[in-house]
Structures are given as C-alpha cells and as structure tokens.
Amino acid sequence: MSEIMNSNEISINSQETEKIQSLREFVTSNEGQERIVNFIDNLKTEVGTKEGWISTCQKAELELENMPINEQTVDRINKKFKTFVDQMPPGHDKGHYSRDLLTSIVLADSLKDKAAFKSDIGAGLLAGAFHDIGTSIIPRYQDVKYGAGHGETGAFLFWQISEGLIGENTRKLASYSIASHTHYLKPIEVQIPQGYKKDKYWDETWTDENNKLIGVAPQTTRRSDRTDTNGITLMFRTIIARLDSVEEGGHDFDGGKFIEFNHESLMQVLNPIIRDPIGSPPTTLEHMLRFARSNDGSNPYSEKDHLFPAFQEILGLKLSQLENLFNTMDKSAFIPETPENNKFAHDLFSKISKAEPQRFEKAWGNFQNLWSELSPESKSKWYNGFEYSKTAYEEILSFYENKTKDSEFANIAKETIDGLRK
C-alpha cells in the first residue's frame, strides 16, 4: 500500500500543532480526498474480504514476534498521537478517547482465549481507542459531504503515524477497523470527490475449526464506540458536540437517517422531554433512548453482541444507569437556578469532555445561550440529571478500575482512569 500512502510525503510531527492545520486543509481539498479514498478503496480490496482478512492476520501474526502490541507499544502510540487527541472536538474529545481506550482494553482481555489471531485482538484494541482520531482534522458531522469522512480520515492518519511502531499488516487491520467503525448500512453519495459513492464495509465475524473467532477487530472497535454512545456519557457528548458544531454545521446519523444541524434541531438539544413516538429532530433524551433500544440484538448494530459478553456487561451498567437517569429527571425535587448550580454543570461537562479548553468554552457559550431560554422547570430537570450523572460517572470509572486491575495494560488503564477523575 506504499504506492498510495507514503508517510514521508506529508511530514507529520505529532508534537507540532501547526501541522494539524495543514493536514486539515489537505484532507478537505479535492486532492486530499481523492488520495484518501484511493487509500481506503485499496485497503478494502486487500483486507475487506474473508480471504483477505485471514491472509492479513496470518502475516500480522509473524510481525508480532518483533513488534508486539503490549503496554509499551500502546504507550508509545499514545504519545505519538497526543497532539491529535488534544485537538479532538468537544463530544469526540480526550474524554471519549480515554473511555474508548478503557473499553478496548477490557474487550481485548476478554478475547485472549476466544479469538484465533492475536493480531486481530490487538488491532481492535488500537482501533477501538483511536477510531475517532480523524475528528482532530476533519469535521465530525460532515460525513455526507466527504468521501473520506472522519472514519476514513482517521484510518489515513493512523496508517501514517503508526508506521514503525507496529507491523505493517497490523496497521492494515487497525486502519480498516477505524475506517469501518461508522457502520453505515447503505451507500452514501458524497459531494467530494464528485461522483464518489461511499460503500458499506465488509464486516464478517465467524469461527474457525477450533471454535475461535475471526474478524473481531471491526466488531470490538464498533463496540468500544457504542459503549460511550450509551447511557449518561452520551447525554454529555450529544449536548456539547452539537453545540460545538453550531458554526460549521453538518448532519448527525439518528434513526436510520441523517439529521441536519439547524435552528430547529439545536432547540431540541436542551428540551428535556421524550415523546411517543420519538420526534424528528430528536431531543437529547430521545437520542439516548433510541440508542438504548438499538441494543436488543434484532438489528445489524447489535446482532453480534452475544459474541462479546464483556461488552454486554459494560452495556448493562450503562443501560441501568440510563433508566435511573430518566427517573431522576422526572421525579426529583425542584432545584432552582443558582451560580453554584451552573458552575457545577460547567465543571461536570468539562470533566467528562476533557476537550481543549478554548474550544470547550466556545461550545459552552452556545450552551449558555440555549440554557437562557429554558423554563425553571426544565432547568431543574437537567440539574437533577447532572447530579445523578456525577455519581453514575464515578460508578463507570470504578467498573473499569476493577476490570483492568489485573490486565497486562493495567498501568495505562490506571493512568487513564486517574486522568478521567480529575
């Protein structure tokens, strides 16, 4: 694949923030988009079939002898990507990345004796953590505009920056998993490149003659993402992400279709109601409920969840908290607006997000504009929800703490959890 992507052609020094701006200009240009979609199409041809996946895994297994995916490797990759992680936007930010990393560690640990290839597990761990890294250089909510949206751009970025840190075939597995994590079920016709149609990604998972799973990396990547797209974390992520996107606009995928960000949809962000049937555009709480309902195993998003009991355990916690959140917001006592309560909300959003402060505060300014239009009763519902969420969030971190304490990645997990608690 070096004929498509040579990391020397676009020099990336992850310690130089100014490089990010040049990358942003490149990946949104016609030239950049053409180059990335060619990279992705070649990756699909080579890796995105049953035979291609097995062949790539077999070659990656040989690479692991000299370039293992262990705690030291993950630490080096984390450091190489630090500047990009710091530039991820509110809602798809350092907090999201950190929780995805923890979920990826839990899933990888759970598959040690269940998957046929260590490289399949390792690629899933890395892709699960870095699946949204593309948002550092391309707007998250413009996937309908670009053939290389945030998933494809993230794959491009991972392919380049991981060179020399893990084997070439492991990089292919991880890059494919990052590109495919969006799990769009239908082809998408985009504006740039002109005439390009973004097709579905191959994503089979099966067992070999020894009853070992193959094709786990794309699946664990999606489940790392879905873990943080359920429960209380989704509430904070949805609100701050949509308010961060006020200026650049875009579309979010909800209920099987893309919802445009406009005045009507933004007015629903802080409307603390759930309608029956769910409205369009949905409120934040409706968005959360729709995601929760999609976990029943009856649709393409969740039909393979039974293969990953560790994911179902995490998800069970998140869904039980969601029910408690809804009950708390509906039935708790009235809480008046005070400067202290507003500061509590600000600090909790900031803690869960961990986005770059200046960009977070800009999104928070948009939050305050909408907040000022709410009734005292609506504000009280949110205050009650925020108070419950503080306790629930600590419960989530304690869950990860318990699950990762004996992991081979225990040190990175502890450092990550300590960072999330600050």
Query: Do residues 262 and 171 both lie within one domain?
Result: no
| Structural domain count, the chain | 2
Query: Do residues 182 and 276 both lie within one domain?
Result: no
Q: How confident is the model at residue 21 (pLDDT cuts 50, 70, 90)?
A: confident
The domain of 357 spans: 232-421
Query: What are the residues facing 258 on neighbouring strands?
Result: 253
pLDDT tens, position by position, 151-171: 999 999 999 999 999 999 999
Query: Do residues 64 and 153 both lie within one domain?
Result: yes
Query: Do residues 137 and 261 both lie within one domain?
Result: no
pLDDT reported for residue 261: 59
Domain-embedded: residue 272: yes
Query: Do residues 189 and 239 both lie within one domain?
Result: no
The whole-number average pLDDT for the span 393-411 is 98
Domain-embedded: residue 4: no
Q: CA–CA separation, 371 vs 230, rounded Å?
A: 24
Q: CA–CA separation, 177 vs 126, rounded Å?
A: 9
The whole-number average pLDDT for the span 262-270 is 78
The two structure tokens encoding residue 320: 């039980």
- DSSP-assigned letters across all residues of 287-333: HHHHHHHTTSSSSTTTTTGGG-HHHHHHHHHHHHHHHHHHHHHHHSP
Does residue 306 have a pLDDT over 60?
yes
Domain-embedded: residue 12: no
Query: Do residues 250 and 370 both lie within one domain?
Result: yes
pLDDT reported for residue 262: 62
Domain-embedded: residue 352: yes
Q: CA–CA separation, 109 vs 407, rounded Å?
A: 7
Does residue 411 have a pLDDT over 70?
yes
Q: CA–CA separation, 56 vs 52, rounded Å?
A: 6
410: Cβ–Cβ under 8 A, 6 or more apart, which residues?
A: 71, 404
Query: Do residues 199 and 314 both lie within one domain?
Result: no
- Alpha-carbon torsion, ordered 337, 339, 341, 345, to 10 deg: 110
Domain-embedded: residue 220: no
- Among 233-242, 248-257, 296-305, 353-362, the minimum mean pLDDT is found in 248-257
Query: What are the residues facing 102 on neighbouring strands?
Result: none
Query: Do residues 172 and 239 both lie within one domain?
Result: no
Domain-embedded: residue 247: yes
Does residue 406 have a pLDDT over 80?
yes
pLDDT reported for residue 2: 39
pLDDT reported for residue 20: 86
Q: CA–CA separation, 120 vs 122, rounded Å?
A: 6
pLDDT tens, position by position, 119-128: 999 999 999 9
Domain-embedded: residue 111: yes
In degrees, rounded to 5, the angle at the alpha carbon of residue 78 between the alpha carbons of residues 38 and 159 is 15
Q: What percent of the chain has pLDDT over 70?
A: 92
Q: Last residue of a domain, which of 156, 174, 207?
A: 207
The whole-number average pLDDT for the span 142-150 is 93
Query: What are the residues facing 206 on neighbouring strands?
Result: 214
pLDDT tens, position by position, 235-251: 999 999 999 987 665 55
Query: Do residues 67 and 154 both lie within one domain?
Result: yes
Query: Do residues 170 and 294 both lie within one domain?
Result: no
